[in-house]
Amino acid sequence: MPLKPIIRKLQSGARIAAYALLAGAAPAHHAAAQLHAVPITNAAAVYELEGYSVSPPPGKSWFEMQRDRQQVLFGKKVDSPTHSFGATATSDLIREKFETREQFQEYVNKLRTADFDPLRFKVIEFESAVDTNYPAWCVRYRLKHTDRNAVLARNRTLLVEDFGITCLHPDKKDLVVDVGYSERGRAAELKSELSVDLRKEGESFMRTLKFKVR
């Protein structure tokens, strides 16, 4: 199974579905995805997933929205109907092989900027860099784009910023792991003090990534 459908879902589907559910306006087709809202009561809990583990984001008002062997989705309750925040960890199998970190970075770059719905999303900025802080080949990225069809936005175009890290598992070379967070809102909301605090929680979540190695 290629990684591309999973990445596309996380960019414009799963995190946004979590936003909508916490706002009480989840579209009906996301109910089939078994989204739920379970309050996080232990930020030190460890989610053991296939090939890796993470812990929930710190802070108040976090909810587990979805979980299986490959992924976990968290949503943050935010008061504003246009301001939302979510965090995800996911993995998938790939067929591609890479000889260098730079080749893997190029692969991640293409995946992160491909297959956006042009009627809803428009990419504004994208950047990535090799991250050597992990015992694996990892690429850290930032993606900024618009969202023209956000739930409860009242026909206003919102901004979305995705931050994350995509890694090739150090032992399982056909397994890719992605951990990151997304923030969506009006331009002023993404520059607020609340946004600064939310992103600190997102960065703390990313740092909990640990690989299961032999």
Q: Give me the DSSP letters along 67-86.
A: E-SS-EEEEE--SSTT-EEE
Structure tokens at 3: 């990684």
Rg (the chain; Cα; Å): 16
Does the pLDDT at position 4 exceed 60? no
pLDDT band at 113 (very low <50, low <70, confident <90, very high): confident
The residue among 157 and 4 whose pLDDT is bigger is 157
What is the model's pLDDT at position 119? 78
What is 5-29 written as a DSSP string?
HHHHHIIIIIHHHHHHHHTT---GG
C-alpha torsion sign, points 115, 144, 165, 189:
negative
Mean pLDDT of 153-166: 88
pLDDT at 34: 61
Q: Residue 53 has which token pair?
A: 């583990």
Which is more confidently placed, 11 or 188?
188
Which DSSP letter does residue 111 get?
Answer: H
Total number of domains constituting the chain: 1
Tokens of 170: 């150090």
d(CA 128, CA 32) in angstroms, rounded, equals: 34
* Phi, psi for residue 163 in degrees, rounded to 5: -125, 135
* Helices and strands (H and E) in the chain: how many: 4, 11
Q: Does residue 11 have a pLDDT over 70?
A: no
Query: Element (H or E) spanning 129, and its range?
Result: strand 121-131
pLDDT of residue 31: 42
Confidence of residue 19 (pLDDT cuts 50, 70, 90): low
Q: Is residue 8 scored above 90 in pLDDT?
A: no
- Which stretch of DSSP H or E encloses residue 87? strand 84-93
Q: What is the pLDDT of residue 3?
A: 45
**pTM for this structure?**
0.85
Q: Residue 203: give the domain boundaries.
A: 4-211
Check: CB of residue 173 under 8 Å from CB of residue 82.
no
